[in-house]
Amino acid sequence: MRAVEIYVSGVVQGVGFRYFTARIAKELGIKGFVKNLSDGRVYIYAVGEERALEKFISNIRHGPPLAVVRDLEIRNAEIKEVERFEVKR
């Protein structure tokens, strides 16, 4: 198991990015959450198996059709107990 924090920048708010992220996370068995940040980025906390996280990050790099992902900042994080993946406001 591994946990990561991902900061996504570009055109990633108002384009369904959080719900896209949640759908991919659920498909891959990733737990954690996604939320918009006040600076226009999206923040993701994700916990899962290494292979699943790699696939998850690959999908996040592309985003949904209306998104333009310019950069991902990925940091290793402390593993926290989370029950599911959720979209936060």
Active site residues: 18, 36
* Residue carrying structure tokens 């996040």: 60
Expressed in angstroms, the distance from the first to the final Cα of the chain is 26
Class of residue 55 by CB neighbours under 10 A (exposed 0-12, middle 13-18, buried 19+):
middle
- Other beta carbons within 10 angstroms of residue 70's beta carbon come to 11
